[in-house]
């Protein structure tokens, strides 16, 4: 398995410093938060996109994904959502990122209606994603935090360039163990976001292994299935400024994940 981290953990850090941090601690890639307050987002111009690809190529660090904020199950008009989806996919393509993250965002919309809207929109953007070599991943989050919720959308889409991003926190909050989450996600799985927290009520980020999330079980489930994709540490410093600095945790976090991966291989 390859290891990455999200720039959500280093808010405001310039991209050259992000690349150096990843290289210094042996991470294979990074997930770039694609929000307008970040250096790169769907509104960024060609010069910014080109400069970013050069920075990460020089550091030999992959841009794993652009983590966007499109809500594919929302009640917004299709035209609005599809415009945002296309812009995010084009950003990923320009950066050479394999993945583009989207949220469900169904809110209080009836489940069947939200599922149908999300499947329709993801299916509509799939040909563009395929042309650009990008995979659009629906994160297990908010209205569809459980694996089986996400699978209700992804099954009907049925396109190889549309898949799932497994956020272990959200499936756990939804009452699923890794053994329950993995089977419905496995046909669609792009990569896995890992993190750690103190409890369901206190989700401030903690160093990996110091909280309650079933990370060892997750990696064991992946290993037993022969899955050899990416684990991405999403340390949510952006939302919890009082949390410890990610830069001090990056090295130990990587060692912890490597230990889990080695243990899964030996099991």
Share of the chain above pLDDT 70, in %: 100
Q: How far apart are CA 7 and CA 236, in angstroms?
A: 9
For residue range 199-248, list pLDDT tens digits in order: 999 999 999 999 999 999 999 999 999 999 999 999 999 999 999 999 99
Asked if 165 and 101 touch (Cβ cutoff 8 Å), the reply is yes
Mean pLDDT of 48-73: 98
Instruction: Reply yes or no on whether the pLDDT at 263 is more than 90.
Output: no
- The sign of the CA dihedral 198, 192, 102, 111 is negative
For residue 265, the model assigns a pLDDT of: 79
Mean pLDDT of all residues in the chain?
A: 97
Which residues share a beta bridge with 99? 65, 135
Backbone angles phi, psi at 91, to 5 degrees: -60, -50
For residue 249, the model assigns a pLDDT of: 98
Torsion of CA 9, 52, 34, 156, to 10 degrees: -110
Question: Taking the mean position of all CA atoms in its chain, how far away is CA 197?
Answer: 17
Instruction: Reply yes or no on whether the pLDDT at 267 is more than 80.
Output: no
For residue range 30-45, list pLDDT tens digits in order: 999 999 999 999 999 9
For residue range 130-151, list pLDDT tens digits in order: 999 999 999 999 999 999 999 9
* Residue among 106, 135, 133, 152 nearest 230 (CA): 135
DSSP letter, residue 9: G
Rounded to two decimals, the pTM is 0.97
Torsion of CA 2, 45, 100, 235, to 10 degrees: 60
Asked if 100 and 122 touch (Cβ cutoff 8 Å), the reply is no
Which residue ranges form the domains of the chain, and what is each CATH number? 2-266 (3.20.20.150)
For residue range 149-206, list pLDDT tens digits in order: 999 999 999 999 999 999 999 999 999 999 999 999 999 999 999 999 999 999 999 9
Mean pLDDT of 84-89: 98
Structure tokens at 149: 């919720």
For residue 46, the model assigns a pLDDT of: 97
For residue 264, the model assigns a pLDDT of: 83
Instruction: Reply yes or no on whether the pLDDT at 118 is more than 90.
Output: yes
């Amino acid at each position: 398995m390859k290891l990455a981290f999200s720039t959500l953990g280093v808010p405001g850090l310039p991209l050259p410093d992000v690349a150096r941090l990843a290289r210094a601690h042996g991470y294979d890639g990074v997930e770039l938060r694609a929000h307008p307050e970040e250096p790169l987002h769907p509104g960024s111009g060609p010069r910014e996109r080109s400069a970013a690809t050069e920075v990460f190529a020089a550091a030999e660090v992959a841009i794993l994904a652009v983590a966007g904020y499109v809500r594919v199950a929302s009640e917004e008009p299709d035209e609005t959502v599809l415009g945002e989806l296309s812009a995010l996919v084009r950003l990923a393509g320009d950066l050479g990122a394999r993945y583009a993250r989207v949220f469900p965002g169904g809110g209080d919309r009836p489940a069947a209606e939200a599922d149908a809207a999300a499947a329709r929109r993801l299916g509509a953007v799939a040909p563009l994603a395929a042309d650009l070599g990008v995979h659009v991943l629906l994160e297990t989050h908010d209205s569809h935090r459980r694996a089986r919720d996400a699978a209700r959308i992804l099954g009907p889409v049925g396109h190889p360039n549309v898949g799932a991003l497994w956020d272990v926190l959200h499936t756990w909050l939804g009452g699923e163990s890794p053994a329950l989450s993995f089977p419905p996600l496995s046909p669609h799985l792009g990569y896995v976001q890992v993190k750690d927290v103190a409890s369901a009520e206190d989700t401030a980020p903690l160093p990996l292994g110091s909280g309650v999330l079933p990370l060892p079980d997750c990696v064991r489930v992946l290993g037993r299935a022969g899955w050899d994709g990416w684990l991405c540490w999403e340390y949510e410093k952006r939302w919890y400024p009082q949390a410890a600095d990610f830069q001090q945790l990056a090295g130990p976090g990587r060692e912890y994940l490597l230990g889990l991966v080695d243990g899964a291989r030996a099991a």
